Amino acid sequence: MRQKPTLKIIAKELDVSVSTVSKALRDSKEISDETKEKVRAFAKLYNYKPNNIALSLKNKKTKTLGVIIPEIVHHFFTTVISGIEDYANSHGYNVIVGLSNESFDKEVINLEMLANGSIDGFIISVAKETLALKDYHHLFETIDQGIPIVMFDRVLDEIICDKIVVDDIATSRKAVQKLIDSGAKKVGIITTEDYVSVGRLRTKGYVEALQFNNINLDENLILKIEDNNKPQDELLHLETQIKNYLKHNEIDAIFAVNELYAITAMKAARELGYSIPQDIQFVGFTDGVLSKHAFPPLTTVSQHGKAMGSQAAKLLINRLESTDETEDENYKTVVVETDIIERETTLNSNES
Amino acid sequence: MRQKPTLKIIAKELDVSVSTVSKALRDSKEISDETKEKVRAFAKLYNYKPNNIALSLKNKKTKTLGVIIPEIVHHFFTTVISGIEDYANSHGYNVIVGLSNESFDKEVINLEMLANGSIDGFIISVAKETLALKDYHHLFETIDQGIPIVMFDRVLDEIICDKIVVDDIATSRKAVQKLIDSGAKKVGIITTEDYVSVGRLRTKGYVEALQFNNINLDENLILKIEDNNKPQDELLHLETQIKNYLKHNEIDAIFAVNELYAITAMKAARELGYSIPQDIQFVGFTDGVLSKHAFPPLTTVSQHGKAMGSQAAKLLINRLESTDETEDENYKTVVVETDIIERETTLNSNES
DNA sequence: CTGAAAGCGCTAACAG
DNA sequence: CTGTTAGCGCTTTCAG
């Protein structure tokens, strides 16, 4: 095992001072070409690379971003990370990932661990539990310490910072409109409880779309999935809730606020003898592997997670590197476009 | 914006020396109870937290693990990460994630970036391109620098280090045996090209299972998917390869070395008029969301990614914290168990 | 019991 | 053109 060379070692070896070596390697004009050459050759030979930690301590910046998400085994978050990585890496930044597992405490711990010098800024989508508790002190504190935060997907009006969102309301309106245009008369929604902001907004879009088409709102057609937070029987729970809902209502189209709800509902519908899309149409939210490979392939609105991720990284890095004091207050929230990807769970408008 | 308190600031405020504050906070017995109390109170009030970077520089360890994987939008890797995170976090370590995107160059860059002091050790699954090129100098060099590596899933015999694997051969044997026991006479395999070690090994298990059952090997039943590395039309490419394969062979069971191949093959089979599992049975490898929600739900062998992740983290952290010189050479490779999760694409043995 | 000093690896202001 | 010095935040001898 060969130990890593340091400036000190090189300096001693070449019988010059540490600062000379440092300057030579950074091509300072204070140093003679001759010395530069000598130092560079030696450095290359011994494969010298500056120590990141020392640089971080010196510069008070680590060139790494902290990403905190509720869950990594989840296609949407995973695409966002890949967008972040992409942008960050190509701009010289690394990415530390912290998982909250939807737990408030873990979110706080992760934030605090990383806030002590490990990262320059955060990209975060808050845990459900945090949303439920409405306790945001950890976020306020890190901003107060001068560490910028970019929120995405699950964002908070209370926190003043850069944000990346999807226009949930407009997108849902669009999705529901699609269903109506394809001939659906009784469209239902499978959504989350209202404390999950994205669920609430998507429900709102659903309601607006109905109003716009002069369709009376039937509260029974809104299924809010109770999240019991016990992964083991969650799926079963989900299935029974959906099956009951389908049995007790006359529905010819369903808008589901995520893939899993959509897929589970399709399965339930199939088991109840419906054929898709003739008897009942489906549109999901968030395009992922499940949608593409479902049977039949699910029409879904794509959130462009990768774009959200790189946008988030871009906003954060810009803020970190901006020396412009006036920009300090100028927080943006960028809305990323969504598309509906038509697959085989919806009818064409003219077929209806 | 309140700036973070440092030892220096506290010391000045309390009119004592920096070292006194440091010692007081670490409960050194050199310090009087009175002073300790005073310092602690002040530190709590100002919410003092030691700066990680300074500690890292001082201690020559960062308490963070570098994880380098080919692809994050992939259920298996994602479960592994979650296992790593879990174990690492509960032992005071953070996790930096680097993605190689199956590219050799990106793998090298990531490794080098992180090796310069950012992390204490690596957990890595190598990129396909690296496997194809057989260029492992970056791995040798980081080990040579004294940075331990734990490899998982795609491991290399040439590299001497801790490894976490699945017994691919035995597992494949088991999977194919299951198919045979369920009455299959002509079982095919959809696998990768041989340079992907896991593909090669799984193919080997397939061959062994046939031999064991005195079934003649028909080379035509082995479909090695060409990976053209162009994501956009990859899927289409995959589909046509598989469809051709199904058309030109008589097959009543397929063992696929990953979920995607299995799902795609099921789709192709359905389109060709087969019914599953009556006409053709399927077993996949690597249990993920796709398998569970496929139509019909796919029988699959579970790799226990989360267990692999925490095992990897455990091995790495043990090695990092072991002061025992004798352990230095004692590299383990742990084999994690696999299970076959029976769902609806296979017949029961007694039904056959 | 407390403080001064050195050092982790690096940069930069300032002398020479 | 090169070297000395100080300092980033912290720990740890070693003196007092």
Neighbour tally for A350: CB within 10 Å: 8
pLDDT at B235: 58
**Does residue B256 surpass a pLDDT of 70?**
yes
Q: Give the pLDDT of residue B351.
A: 47
CB A179 within 8 A of CB A156: no
**B294 to chain A, closest Cα gap in Å:** 6
Q: Poorest-confidence range of A207-216, A281-290, B136-145? A: A281-290
Residues from chain A that touch B82, judged by Cβ atoms under 8 A, are 72-73, 99
- Residue A269, pLDDT above cutoff 60: yes
What digits encode the pLDDT tens for the residues A140-150?
A: 999 999 999 99
- Assess whether B19 (CB) lies less than 7 A from strand C: yes
CA distance B269 to B186: 15
Q: Is A329 exposed, middle or buried (0-12, 13-18, 19+ CB in 10 A)?
A: exposed
pLDDT, tens digit, for every residue of B191-239?
998 888 889 999 999 999 999 999 999 999 999 998 765 555 565 688 8
Which single residue is written with the structure tokens 């899927």? B235
In angstroms, rounded to a whole number, what is the distance separating the alpha carbons of residues B352 and B344? 15
Distance separating alpha carbons of residues B70 and A170, to the nearest angstrom: 36
* Closest listed residue to residue B197, CA positions, set B135, B255, B153: B153
Residue type, A249: N
Give this prediction's pTM. Answer: 0.87
Rounded Cα distance, A151 and A163, in Å: 5
State pLDDT tens for residues A337-347. 899 999 999 99
Closest-CA residue of chain B to A47: B141
- Of A69-78, B158-167, B232-241, B293-302, the poorest mean pLDDT is in B232-241
Contact across the interface for A52 and B116, Cβ inside 8 Å: yes
User: Residues of CATH 1.10.260.40 domain(s) within chain B?
Assistant: 1-50
In whole numbers, what is the pLDDT of chain B averaged over residues? 91
Q: pLDDT tens-digit profile of B304-339? A: 999 999 999 999 999 998 865 555 578 999 999 899
Contact A54 B98 (CB under 8 A): no
Q: Please indicate whether, in this complex, the C-beta atoms of A95 and B94 are within 8 angstroms of each other.
A: no
- For A346, B63, B123, B345, the CA distances from A352, given in Å and listed in that order, are 10, 61, 54, 35
**8 A C-beta contact, residue A88 and residue A317:** yes
A175 Cβ contact partners less than 8 Å away, ≥ 6 residues apart: A205, A255, A283, A285, A301, A340
Q: Which of A12, A90, A246, A99 is nearest to B67 (CA)?
A: A99
**Strand C lies under 7 A from the Cβ of residue A19:** yes
Beta bridge partners of A283: A255
The band of A351, judged by pLDDT with boundaries at 50, 70 and 90, is very low
| pLDDT band per the 50, 70, 90 thresholds, residue A29 | confident
| Percentage of the residues of chain B whose pLDDT score is greater than 90 | 80
Confidence of residue B352 (pLDDT cuts 50, 70, 90): very low
pLDDT on residue B236: 62
**A1-50 belongs to CATH 1.10.150.120:** no
List the A37 CA – D1 C1' distance (angstroms).
14
Q: Where are the alpha helices (H) located in chain A, listed in sequence order?
A: 7-14, 18-25, 33-45, 52-59, 75-90, 104-115, 128-133, 137-144, 168-181, 197-212, 231-247, 259-271, 289-293, 305-321
CA of B27 to C1' of D10 (A): 15
- Choose among A53, A81, A94: nearest Cβ to B57: A53
pLDDT the model gives residue A305: 93
Q: Which two tokens stand for residue B174?
A: 């088991």
Q: Is A149 helix (H, G, I), strand (E, B) or coil?
A: strand
Query: Where, residue-wise, is CATH 3.40.50.2300 in chain A?
Result: 53-165+308-321, 168-302
**Please, what is the average pLDDT of chain A?**
91
Rounded distance between C-alpha atoms, residue A201 and residue A165, angstroms:
12
Residue A62 confidence (pLDDT) above 70: yes
Q: Does the C-beta of A18 come within 7 A of strand C?
A: yes
What does A54-72 look like in DSSP terms, one character per residue? HHHHHHT---EEEEEES-S
Q: Is the pLDDT of residue A352 over 80?
A: no
Q: Contact B57/A57, CB-based, under 8 Å?
A: yes
- Domain A168-302: homologous superfamily in CATH: Response regulator (3.40.50.2300)
Tell me: pLDDT of A349 over 90: no
Q: Which long-range contacts (CB under 8 A, 24 or more apart) does B25-31 make?
A: none
Q: How far apart are CA A72 and CA A80, in angstroms?
A: 10
Region A67-88: mean pLDDT is 94
Whether the CB of B27 is less than 7 Å away from nucleic strand C comes out as: no
For the ranges A260-264, A333-337, B2-6, B250-254, which has the lowest average pLDDT?
A: B2-6
Section A318-328 average pLDDT: 73
Compute the distance between CA of residue A220 and CA of residue B175 in angstroms, rounded to an integer: 46
Pair A130, A107: CB distance under 8 Å = yes
Q: What phi and psi values does residue B306 have, to the nearest 5 degrees?
A: -60, -40
pLDDT at B108: 95
Q: How large is the average pLDDT for residues A197-209?
A: 93
Above 90 in pLDDT, residue B287? no
Mean pLDDT of A220-238: 74
- Does the beta-carbon distance from B64 to A95 stay under 8 Å? no
Of B53, B73, B112, the CB nearest to A78: B73
* Residue B115 contacts strand C, CB under 7 A: no
Segment of A209-213, B70-74, B191-195 carrying the highest mean pLDDT:
A209-213
B195: exposed, middle or buried (Cβ count in 10 Å: 0-12, 13-18, 19+): middle
> Where do we find the tokens 């490979």?
A293
CB contact under 8 A, A51 and B3: no
Mean pLDDT of B107-122: 94
The domain made up of B53-165+308-321 has a fold known as: Rossmann fold (3.40.50)
* Neighbour-count burial of A229, counting CB atoms closer than 10 A to its CB (0-12 exposed, 13-18 middle, 19+ buried): exposed
Q: Is the CB of A8 under 7 A from strand C?
A: yes
Residue B217 neighbours by CB distance under 10 Å = 11
* A-interface mutation test, from B73, B147, B282, most A Cβ less than 10 A away: B73
Burial of B58 (0-12, 13-18, 19+ CB in 10 A): exposed
| Residue A314 pLDDT level (bands cut at 50, 70, 90) | very high
Distance CA B156, CA A338 (A): 42
